[in-house]
């Protein structure tokens, strides 16, 4: 015969065992359900707003031109918009297609570095980019109920996800400079003698880019995500700002392309006239450095995005 106290202990032990087993089963099922969530939300659409920046010959920091963000002039950043479609390959891998539009800008007057400031070139260019990108996530999202109802334990969407991305894209650019209040397309002018004897061919305004960068996303609820992304673009052109090589004979540009082309090719201030200028033309001597063809131009975007996940219809996740 068991005493009452012993019976109570046995009952209590059974309850504890049942609680532990139930908790373990719930935990396993919850994690299994969570692991399958990406299958129910494979497709996503997103859009965003942000800023784009340019790294090239024109403008830059108050020093001799350097590479990467050390030469960034913050005041030339301009608004950008983006939209796209994302497909979940697995819980940690996604692919996406993105269209982005913005404006790139550079101005030698914004730097105090003597030679670039004296060069006095400037440009702006609309840029339109279409890319395909692979994203790898370092941690997995935890989905929740639709409205994050307070007190609904175990069902609340929470946590940040972090990812890195890389891919390939194509973009269009068209550098312009201001002349008598009008913005003039520079590529047709051949400001470095393109199309003239010894000046090479005109550059293409369509080029390839390699997008790469880092991002993070936050699960607002089951359907919506907000994100922040910092992306760079490696390009294979040095003419986004219309500047790459050496000065061409300005007199030849004037004779063949006119006063607008000659002026925009060399609007320099004349600070170093005794060493750099041709007395016959009053312009920079042909052959002197105008840009640096060894370093290709680059640009990037900082974007805040909103993402809506499209639930798969007519099916349920298999557990």
Which of the following CATH numbers is that of domain 43-310: 3.30.70.360, 3.40.190.10, 3.30.565.10, 2.40.160.20?
Answer: 2.40.160.20
Give the pair of three-digit tokens for residue 291: 């840009």
Of the ranges 17-26, 105-114, 144-153, 171-180, which is most confident? 171-180
Among 107, 259, 134, which residue's Cα sits nearest to residue 191? 259
Cα torsion through 72, 73, 74, 80, rounded to 10 = -80
CB-based contact 125:159 (threshold 8 Å): no
Mean pLDDT of the chain: 83
CB-based contact 137:163 (threshold 8 Å): yes
* Average confidence (pLDDT) over 261-268: 94
Point out which residues pair with 299 in neighbouring strands.
54, 233
The separation between CA 26 and the C-alpha centre of its own chain, rounded to angstroms, equals 42
**Cα distances (Å, whole numbers) of residue 220 to 3, 140, 163:** 55, 15, 17
Among 307, 153, 146, 159, which residue's Cα sits nearest to residue 222? 146
Q: Give the total residue count for the chain.
A: 319
Q: Specify the pLDDT at position 23.
A: 47
Among 186, 223, 224, 221, which residue's Cα sits nearest to residue 205? 186
Among the residues of the chain, which ranges form H helices? 4-40, 114-119, 250-257, 259-265, 273-276
pLDDT tens figures, 177-195: 999 999 999 999 999 999 9
Q: Specify the pLDDT at position 140.
A: 81
* Average confidence (pLDDT) over 299-311: 93
Q: Does residue 316 carry a pLDDT above 60?
A: no
* Average confidence (pLDDT) over 270-298: 84
Give the pair of three-digit tokens for residue 35: 């692991």
Q: Does residue 22 carry a pLDDT above 60?
A: no
Q: Does residue 247 carry a pLDDT above 60?
A: yes
Give the pair of three-digit tokens for residue 176: 């312009």
SS3 state at 167: strand
pTM: 0.80
Among 78, 80, 82, 87, which residue's Cα sits nearest to residue 47? 82
SS3 state at 110: helix
Rounded to whole angstroms, how far apart are CA atoms 28 and 101? 45
pLDDT tens figures, 54-86: 988 887 665 555 555 656 777 888 999 999 999
Instruction: For residue 272, give the H/E element and its range.
Output: none
């Amino acid at each position: 015969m068991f005493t009452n106290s012993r019976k109570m202990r046995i009952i209590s032990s059974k309850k504890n065992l049942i609680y532990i087993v139930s908790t373990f089963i719930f935990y396993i099922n919850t994690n299994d359900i969570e692991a399958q969530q990406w299958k129910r939300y494979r497709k996503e659409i997103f859009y965003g707003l942000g800023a784009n920046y340019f790294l090239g010959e024109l403008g830059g920091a108050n020093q001799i031109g350097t590479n990467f963000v050390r030469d960034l002039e913050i005041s030339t950043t301009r608004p950008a918009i983006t939209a796209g479609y994302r497909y979940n390959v697995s819980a940690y891998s996604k692919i996406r297609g993105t269209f982005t539009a913005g404006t790139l800008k550079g101005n030698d007057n914004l730097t105090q570095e003597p030679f670039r400031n004296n060069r006095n070139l400037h440009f702006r260019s609309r840029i339109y980019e279409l890319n395909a990108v692979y994203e790898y996530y370092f941690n997995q999202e935890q989905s929740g109920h639709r409205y994050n109802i307070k007190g609904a334990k175990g069902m609340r969407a929470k946590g940040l996800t972090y990812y890195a991305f890389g891919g390939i894209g194509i973009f269009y650019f068209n550098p312009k400079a201001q002349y008598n209040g009008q913005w003039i397309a520079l590529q047709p002018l051949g400001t470095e003698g393109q199309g003239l004897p010894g000046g090479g061919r005109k550059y293409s305004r369509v080029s390839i880019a390699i997008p790469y960068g880092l991002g993070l996303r936050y699960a607002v609820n089951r359907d919506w995500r907000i994100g922040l992304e910092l992306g760079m673009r490696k390009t294979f052109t040095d003419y986004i700002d219309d500047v790459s090589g050496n000065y061409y004979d300005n007199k030849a540009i004037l004779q063949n392309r006119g006063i607008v082309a000659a002026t925009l090719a060399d609007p320099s201030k004349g600070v170093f006239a005794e060493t750099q200028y041709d007395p016959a033309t009053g312009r920079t001597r042909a052959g002197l450095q105008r840009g640096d063809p060894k370093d290709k131009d680059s640009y990037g975007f900082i974007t805040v995005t909103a993402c809506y996940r499209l639930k798969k219809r007519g099916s349920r996740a298999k557990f």
